[in-house]
Amino acid sequence: MFDLGVEVDERTPQALCKASANGALAGAHRADEYERAGTIHARMLATARGVHASMRVQRHNAHMTTALLDDALATFDALFEEARIAGEPDPTAMAVATAGLDARPSVRMVLLKAHDARGFVFYTHLDGRKGRDLQANPHAALLFHWPRVREGIQVRIEGAVETVSDDEADAYFASRPRGSQLGAWASKQSETLESPDAFVERLAHVEREFDGRDVPRPLRWTGLRVKPERIEFWFGAAYRLHERWLYEGDLTGAWSKRMLYP
């Protein structure tokens, strides 16, 4: 057997033998590589076929009949109830995105307090950032995420914003726990807080002020209604084969719908 690590003159018989041996080994290595490549290719092909079949099953099983409803708000109602039954910790939790005149977006989580044909309502103090944004630019986007429903569902809502009536705001404020009512008076929302003690002192002052009587609604604390113009329902699925339905409303209240690529 040749010692292939020994350097020899390339013109000698030893060199020719070494080259021949190296070539044979290289050929054997290539054959092994081709065999491995063929095996890998076969495995990849089998995997791809399996994935394709699984994808077909996934799409068949994930067909969303609720997304085929003609009315976007009826679709929301059905999925909202499904989220509640599925045990979502709080299906009313939603992100609210706003932007002021400076066009800088801002987003935060709030709770949906009412929804009907007129829109989606949450409550806030108009002197906070979202209140200021919406007074300057009365348009907002909402996002619900319900990961426990099916393979996960997102609902995106865009529309103009209006203030609810005083009667609506008064009725909701009156239904809140007294501690929450007092907190609405004590908080100067989004302003700088010098220390936690300062907030405690303000709260104590408010408690003394309203001791023994009902707490009225602060004038700058009210409800905001997002009137939906576009609602998208996103249904999660394996292999990023998500299902997206976009509903767009017109001035008559009718909805048109179309699918979007995921």
Q: Is 123 annotated as contributing to ligand binding?
A: yes
Same domain, 123 and 73: yes
Last residue of a domain, one of 61, 78, 110: 61
Same domain, 128 and 55: no
Q: What percentage of the chain exceeds 90 in pLDDT?
A: 71
Same domain, 181 and 252: yes
- Of the pLDDT bands very low, low, confident and very high (cuts 50, 70, 90), residue 65 is very low
The CB density around residue 68, as the number of other CB atoms within 10 Å, is 10
Report whether 162 contacts 227 (CB < 8 A): yes
Same domain, 54 and 163: no
Instruction: Using the predicted structure, report yes or no on whether residue 172 has a pLDDT greater than 60.
Output: yes
Last residue of a domain, one of 11, 46, 61: 61
Same domain, 119 and 223: yes
Domain count, the chain: 2
Same domain, 209 and 88: yes
Q: Is 241 annotated as contributing to ligand binding?
A: yes
What length does the chain have? 262
Q: What is the domain range of residue 201? A: 64-260
Q: Is 190 annotated as contributing to ligand binding?
A: yes
Same domain, 86 and 108: yes
- Of the pLDDT bands very low, low, confident and very high (cuts 50, 70, 90), residue 189 is confident
Residue recorded with tokens 């709030």: 110
Tens of pLDDT, residues 212-258: 999 999 999 999 999 999 999 999 999 999 999 999 999 888 999 99
- Of the pLDDT bands very low, low, confident and very high (cuts 50, 70, 90), residue 79 is very high
Catalytic residue selected from 11, 208, 213, 240: 240
Same domain, 104 and 198: yes
- Name which of 18-32, 93-107, 143-157, 182-196 the model is least confident about: 18-32
Same domain, 84 and 181: yes
Same domain, 56 and 135: no
- Of the pLDDT bands very low, low, confident and very high (cuts 50, 70, 90), residue 23 is low
The predicted pLDDT at position 157 comes to 99
- Name which of 51-60, 86-95, 251-260 the model is least confident about: 51-60
Same domain, 143 and 199: yes
Report whether 126 contacts 221 (CB < 8 A): yes
Same domain, 83 and 118: yes
Last residue of a domain, one of 21, 43, 61: 61
- 240 a catalytic residue: yes
What CATH number corresponds to the domain at position 143?
Answer: 2.30.110.10
Q: Is 113 annotated as contributing to ligand binding?
A: yes
Distance of CA 153 to CAs 58, 73, 104, 141, Å?
16, 15, 27, 17
209 backbone φψ class: left, alpha, beta (φ>0; ψ -120 to 50) = alpha
Q: Is 156 annotated as contributing to ligand binding?
A: no
Q: Is 234 annotated as contributing to ligand binding?
A: yes
